[in-house]
Structure 1
Amino acid sequence: MGAEVKIWNPVEIAEQARKDYASQIHASHLTIDPSLSFPHMQPLIIKLCKDIFNSWSNLDDSCFQVEKISGGITNLLLKVSVKQENCIDDTITIRLYGPNTEYIIDRHRELQAVKYLSAAGFGAKWLGIFGNGMVQSFIDAHTLTPSDIRESKIAAKIAMELKRFHHVEIPGSKEPQLWNDIWKFFEKASVLEFDDSEMQKTYETISFTEIRDGIVQLKGLSDHLNSPVIFSHNDLLSGNMMINDEEDKLYFIDYEYASYNYRGFDIANHFAEYAGFECDYNLYPNKNEQYHFFRHYIQPDRPHEVSEKDLETLYVETNTYVLASHLLWALWGLIQAKMSPIDFDYLSYFFLRYNEYKRQKEKCLSLAQSYLSGFKNE
């Protein structure tokens, strides 16, 4: 269980990337405080661009236009346009990592994924790294919303792209990381102390013995499902997908949690995100909606020819591993409640995810047990 936090060394990683990856990866030791106001951040972003890209080092600051694209609950995304001779020559994206995120995110694992996924044509092209973030090419597309991913046409497109994503080969260990990550989060989450007395009082109502027993039970049962191990995104919420409407092209972005994992988990984790950050699980896809997704995932070219047996298998996998999704992100929420300075109620998020796990536990486990019993009786 658990692992030590690795030291983040952008130059060291960039040098390794140059050996492993076809494109030149630029690097800088500079860091930028993501909590700064945007006016104070802009000149630092320009300085960073000049430090990373030699061809821009002598440009006047007026050549750079910096815009905030989005600010999620772990990252800040910025767009930088570089204008020379009255035309925009280049546009890049800068992703600033949130403070203390290295406590829960393995940046070495992330960048291993980024370089190969980028080479395989997924997401943005990786251009460089710096003290607390990375630089990528700009994707001309808009971010999806939770209501978007429920739409039948978009759901089918996501399923087909996910199938393609799951066929990417990433060098190194192909051990599924789900239970390693859950236990790592469990160890960190179970020994927290909050400065705020009310938060501490709420935290002390949590039974980590109950959570631990639930993890052990779920792992024991789900192992019997033999869900295929594939390279997974592991965080396929609406904000990590973009679409270019004119080209009708879908992009998966943000590979902070990507790793080899169980097929059922990656799909279940995506379905759980239909609920959005508000965790309205009335929006979780029903069986018909799930089958629509499965058909386009299993057989994109002939979705209506998918067998009932294959649909049932994926349905059971998905609706067992959704419990693991709730446990993983509930524990993540506890850690973030302690570590993150971002204005988001992570402690409440823990209870939303954990309470949904408890509500669905009996039904989901019974589904898996019934399915496995059917195999034994054949």
Structure 2
Amino acid sequence: MGKAVEILNAEEVAEGAPDDRTSGIPSSHLTVDHTLSIPEMKPHVVELCKDLFKKWSNLDDSHFSVETLSGGITNLLLKVSVREENGETVNLTVRLYGPNTDYVIDRERELQAIQYLSAAGFGAKLFGVFKNGMVQSFIHARTLAPSDMRKPKLAAEIAKKLHEFHQVEIPGPKEPQLWNEIIKFFRKASTLQFDDSESQRKYVTVSFEEVHNEITELKELTGHLNAPVVFAHNDLLCGNLMHNEDEGKLYFIDFEYGSYNYRGFDIGNHFNEYAGYECDYSLYPTKTEQYHFFRYYLKPHQPNEVSEEDLEALYVETNTYMLASHLCWGLWGLIQAKISPIDFDYLGYFFWRYTEYKKQKEKCFTTAKAYLAKSKGIFH
């Protein structure tokens, strides 16, 4: 990874005015069609690299190799290896945005955040941007699986890393974005029309009046918790966690949905992701597992000194905002069902998330109200 940093020497950067959003990071107006096969895609990726990085402009195409790293349910990641004239190889990650993702993702906010998070030691370094993606440093690590996240040692490492992440300050407004995002998703999700009759039949069974009432009720309840506002990842699923076992290093990647938000939402959303894409919520962490996580989050170097009061407070906060995670990503799923060409049951995803929301609501509301009655004299 250190070698790759050299490609950004000032005199070697591509000519042309950089994107204002990325403070001198090289930019290109080229696009790469994500639907192409890797052999078909390679010449376009090579052209992009030569356009972005001047020092490679005269290299023969045989000096470049391209392979797929992963294909999630939003983006496509490619590993590009470049054999330089001196025989050394530079590895890069090229991330192609999923089609239509700008409909739900604020790319300007993401690009700004990446630079500050990278400077603080999070994620991959940003080397270049292009019309439908970005080029970043290559991370030598494996992507976690859902089962990894609940392993006590890794859970502690994730908690400590998240504590550090939440200390990073990103310039700009600090208002929490949770309810703005949920309402934005609600408005878009509630006005869809599907060409496919079966999808439309399922879609019209959604009671958006009921969903709106749930949003209103949950927003009111969480407002009493006074949860700290931090710069949150908001999408800390296993696919956005990478681990290098040999070096003992953990990485957070992909800050597409990052924003200032409530601490409890980021943690509760992470716990929901223990269920994986299959949404097996029997895997949601137990209270004992959550307390283990909280100790390392609240006092990374003195986990056994966290008070019971602080553990209980964060438990209530997390498991109330966990409900908001279901509403947020459920509505997101409806939008994706309409706009995404990726083969994933996004409509089903909404129903899995909303069903789990309704299943957990009474318990979480009761716990939160009892806590607020005891600690703040609210909901007696």
Q: TM-score, normalised by structure 2?
A: 0.94
Distance 1:230 1:204, change over 3 A: same
CA contact (8 A) 1:144 1:241 kept: yes
1:263 Cα deviation (Å)? 0.5
Query: Aligned to 1:242, what secondary structure does the other structure show?
Result: strand
Alpha-carbon displacement from aligned partner over 1:38-90 (angstroms, at most 9, x marks no partner): 22111111111111111111100000011110011100000111113473331
Name the CA distance, whole Å, in 1 between partners of 2:279 and 2:17: 39
Distance 1:225 1:150, change over 3 A: same
1:15 Cα deviation (Å)? 3.1
Name the CA distance, whole Å, in 1 between partners of 2:228 and 2:377: 23
Alpha-carbon displacement from aligned partner over 1:198-231 (angstroms, at most 9, x marks no partner): 1001100000000000000000000100000001
Name the CA distance, whole Å, in 2 between partners of 1:14 and 1:134: 12
Q: Which residue of 2 aligns with 1:190?
A: 190
Letter in 2 for 1:117: L
Q: Which residue of 1 aligns with 2:73?
A: 73
Q: Which residue of 2 aligns with 1:371?
A: 371
1:327 Cα deviation (Å)? 0.2
Q: Which residue of 2 aligns with 1:268?
A: 268
CA contact (8 A) 1:268 1:319 kept: yes
CA contact (8 A) 2:21 2:111 kept: no
1:35 Cα deviation (Å)? 1.3
Deviates more, 1:99-108 or 1:368-377: 368-377
Deviates more, 1:46-55 or 1:307-316: 46-55
Q: Which residue of 1 aligns with 2:254?
A: 254
Q: Which residue of 2 aligns with 1:6?
A: none
Name the CA distance, whole Å, in 1 between partners of 2:86 and 2:229: 51
CA contact (8 A) 2:73 2:342 kept: yes
Query: Aligned to 2:172, what secondary structure does the other structure show?
Result: coil
Distance 1:280 1:16, change over 3 A: closer
**Structure 1 residue ranges, 4+ long, deviating more than 6 angstroms after superposition:** none
1:94 Cα deviation (Å)? 0.4
Q: TM-score, normalised by structure 1?
A: 0.94
1:16 Cα deviation (Å)? 3.9
Structure 1 residue runs of 5 or longer lacking an equivalent are 1-10, 19-23
Alpha-carbon displacement from aligned partner over 1:230-270 (angstroms, at most 9, x marks no partner): 01000000000101111101000000000000000000000
Name the CA distance, whole Å, in 2 between partners of 1:269 and 1:198: 30
Name the CA distance, whole Å, in 2 between partners of 1:33 and 1:67: 15
Alpha-carbon displacement from aligned partner over 1:22-46 (angstroms, at most 9, x marks no partner): xx41100001111112221111111
Percent identity over the alignment? 66
Name the CA distance, whole Å, in 1 between partners of 2:20 and 2:79: 25
Q: Which residue of 2 aligns with 1:338?
A: 338
Q: Which residue of 2 aligns with 1:102?
A: 102
Q: Which residue of 2 aligns with 1:111?
A: 111
- Please point out which of 15, 22, 39 is paired with 1:17: 22
CA contact (8 A) 2:94 2:135 kept: yes
CA contact (8 A) 1:14 1:128 kept: no
Letter in 2 for 1:71: G
Name the CA distance, whole Å, in 2 between partners of 1:195 and 1:255: 32
Query: Aligned to 2:76, what secondary structure does the other structure show?
Result: strand
Query: What is the Cα-based RMSD across aligned positions, in Å?
Result: 1.3
CA contact (8 A) 2:319 2:364 kept: yes
1:12 Cα deviation (Å)? 7.8
1:14 Cα deviation (Å)? 2.2
Q: Which residue of 1 aligns with 2:163?
A: 163
Matches within 5 A, 1:1-378: 14-18=19-23, 24-85=24-85, 87-377=87-377
Name the CA distance, whole Å, in 2 between partners of 1:61 and 1:302: 53
Structure 2 residue runs of 5 or longer lacking an equivalent are 1-15
Letter in 1 for 2:79: K
Letter in 1 for 2:333: G
Query: Aligned to 2:129, what secondary structure does the other structure show?
Result: strand
User: For this pair of structures, how many residues does the alignment match?
Assistant: 363
Query: Aligned to 2:123, what secondary structure does the other structure show?
Result: coil
Query: Aligned to 1:122, what secondary structure does the other structure show?
Result: coil
